[in-house]
């Protein structure tokens, strides 16, 4: 392993942000109205998507790993939670304390410790653990699942968000294009990134600058295939560590499943139904749209295998944009488009299917321009192709797991 690769492998995500001297989620809330607007977004996520209503947090003991500047912790405190925060980036601690003081929530901040997930020690047990935006980088997965199981009360919940392997395809593809662009021009990296992606970035509402996004995605060494988690594998690992799946977004339960309400499924039966559903959801995860695979299991497996190979090859392009994986990516994009056209797919809005095919075709044209080392052609497509500009995929997934009630 090369020295640089070894350093990255031994590094942690918070070290990356420490070196950048930034707090990636800092919202700089100054007024109660700003905080309340953010709290309303969180209420929507937790109540309607994750099935964790705010009243569940009232007087609950909540442990948040990696709170960064503390916006989410403030919301939990506002819902009545008693907060223990484990933040390994020392630069964040002053911001957290200032936030809690400014919004009169200091009494809810029970502890603020300088620790990451694996280094955290406590004899206390918690009702809820929250770890958003970084947990996928703590590997192997069984490490953090074991920590959560040890620290949770029976029937306690753990909330995580992470990069899902199939949903992260477009993030990896953007990094591959960026890597090629840097190799084809002598301009500074940020200037190259803006040339390639500023039109795409400006097409959506956002509360942070382009530079922050570039640091968070394009330059982030942890936004890579080797860190991304497969949803089905994660659910299987969680069950093996003594958890049940409570909820997820996108949903990991088959919402079309129907059976008698008094029927009690075993944990293995629940997991089997969930993994079958997840197999059929991989195209939806990749596209960020409802494109549910309803064909025979063999056809579903073939598409899943094709997507897996495509994601892996586009990731390899990040390190070697003009290498052997480039022609494979071009061929697999064309093949995936053809396969999708001939596959049974449940879709509510038929234009969504056409939009995905158009997007895959737009990326294929960009990669063809990369193969020709045509920077002018690459930028012409990234600055004007609407299918490319409008698509972001579904990289971030939320999962809520619940510790088995009978375990003490």
Secondary-structure class of domain 3-163 per CATH = alpha beta
* pTM summary value: 0.91
Spell out the per-residue pLDDT of the chain, length 408, in tens.
333 443 444 477 666 666 655 555 556 688 999 999 999 999 999 999 999 999 999 999 999 999 988 999 999 999 999 999 999 988 899 999 999 999 999 999 999 999 999 999 999 999 999 999 899 999 999 999 999 999 999 999 999 999 999 999 999 999 999 999 999 998 999 999 999 999 999 998 876 778 888 988 999 999 999 999 999 999 999 999 999 999 999 999 998 888 899 999 998 999 999 999 999 999 999 999 999 999 888 889 888 899 999 999 999 999 999 999 999 999 999 999 999 998 899 999 889 999 999 999 999 999 999 999 999 999 999 999 999 999 998 899 999 999 998 654
Give the other-Cβ count within 10 Å of 28's Cβ: 11
Distance CA(24)–CA(169), nearest Å, equals 22
List C-alpha distances in Å: 157 to 130, 162, 225, 282.
8, 16, 27, 26
Q: What is the CA radius of gyration of the chain?
A: 22
Helix 93-102 and helix 71-78, axial crossing angle in degrees, nearest 10: 30
The β-bridge relationship of strands 345-346 and 292-293 is antiparallel
Cite the residue boundaries of each domain of the chain with CATH code 3.40.50.150.
3-163
Residue 259 makes CB contacts below 8 A (sequence gap 6+) with none
């Amino acid at each position: 392993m090369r020295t640089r690769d070894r350093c990255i492998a031994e590094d942690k995500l918070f070290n990356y942000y420490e070196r950048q001297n930034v707090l990636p989620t800092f919202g700089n809330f100054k007024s109660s109205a700003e905080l309340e607007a953010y709290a309303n977004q969180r209420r929507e996520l937790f109540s309607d998507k994750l099935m964790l209503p705010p009243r569940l947090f009232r007087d609950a003991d909540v442990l948040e790993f990696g709170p960064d500047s503390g916006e989410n912790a403030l919301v939990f405190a506002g819902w009545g939670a008693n907060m223990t925060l484990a933040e390994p980036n020392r630069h964040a601690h002053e911001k957290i304390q200032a936030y809690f003081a400014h919004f009169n929530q200091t009494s809810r901040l029970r502890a603020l410790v300088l620790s990451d997930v694996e280094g955290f020690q406590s004899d206390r047990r918690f009702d809820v653990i929250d770890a958003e935006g970084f947990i996928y980088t703590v590997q192997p997965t069984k490490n953090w699942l074991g920590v959560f199981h040890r620290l949770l009360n029976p029937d306690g919940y753990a909330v995580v968000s992470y990069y899902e392997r199939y949903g992260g395809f477009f993030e990896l593809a953007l990094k591959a294009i960026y890597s090629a662009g840097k190799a084809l021009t002598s301009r500074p990296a940020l200037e190259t990134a803006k040339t390639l992606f500023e039109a795409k970035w400006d097409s959506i509402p956002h509360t942070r600058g382009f530079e922050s996004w570039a640091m968070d995605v394009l330059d982030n060494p942890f936004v890579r295939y080797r860190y991304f988690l497969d949803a089905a594998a994660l659910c299987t690992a969680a069950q093996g560590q003594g958890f049940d799946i409570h909820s997820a977004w996108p949903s990991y339960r088959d919402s079309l499943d129907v059976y008698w309400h008094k029927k009690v499924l075993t944990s293995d039966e629940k997991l089997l139904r969930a993994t079958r559903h997840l197999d059929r959801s991989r195209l939806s995860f990749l596209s960020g749209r409802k494109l549910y695979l309803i064909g025979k299991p063999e056809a579903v497996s073939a598409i899943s295998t094709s997507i897996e190979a495509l994601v892996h090859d586009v990731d390899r392009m990040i390190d070697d944009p003009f290498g052997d994986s480039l022609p494979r990516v071009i061929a697999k994009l064309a093949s995936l488009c053809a396969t999708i056209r001939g596959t049974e797919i449940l879709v509510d809005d038929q234009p969504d299917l056409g939009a995905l095919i158009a997007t895959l075709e737009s990326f294929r044209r960009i990669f063809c321009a990369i193969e020709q080392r045509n920077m002018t052609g690459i930028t012409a497509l990234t600055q004007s192709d609407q299918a490319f500009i409008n698509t972001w995929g579904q990289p971030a997934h939320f999962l809520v797991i619940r510790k088995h009630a009978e375990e003490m």
